[in-house]
Amino acid sequence: MRLVLFIFTLVSIFLYQEVGLPQGEIVVDIASTNVEYDLGLIKADEVVEVKIFFRNKLDEELILKNILSDCECLEANSDSIKVPRNGVFAIPIKINTSGYSGETNFMLYLITESKKYNLIKIVIYAFVDKKNNF
């Protein structure tokens, strides 16, 4: 039993290092063209930087060409990447929360080379806290 647990731990550490995923990090599954992610509580009047991890749960390889957002307040960058089925990738984002408060959502659009999944919409929910109750 200890040997099995030891092997499982080693494999887990290897997989986390392979994709650059910190242990305990949340991974959002992309299983359709509509994805939601709750960022939780974020500070107002700041540029909030986060890295969101996604797992390709689609039935084909995902080739990411571009990322667009619905406002100038949200910036997301990623090189063109190929993500195999069940592969994990990260998108670093910056959200300028100036002028926002309370429940808010932001939109990201992943443009891919797939005919079936050429546009993937990601809704990012957040609660922008003006009182900075952190």
Give pTM, 2 decimals. 0.78
pLDDT at residue 12 tops 50? no
**What tens digit of pLDDT does each residue of 33-62 get?**
999 999 999 999 999 999 999 999 999 999
State mean pLDDT over 7-25: 48
> From the centroid of its chain, how far is CA 32?
14
**What tens digit of pLDDT does each residue of 50-99 get?**
999 999 999 999 999 999 999 999 999 877 889 999 999 999 999 999 99
pLDDT at residue 119 tops 60? yes
Q: Are 86 and 57 in contact (CB under 8 A)?
A: yes
* Separation of alpha carbons 95 and 116, rounded Å: 29
Token pair listed for 76:
């997301």
* Separation of alpha carbons 18 and 127, rounded Å: 32
For 25-129, which CATH class?
mainly beta
Per-domain residue ranges of the chain: 25-129
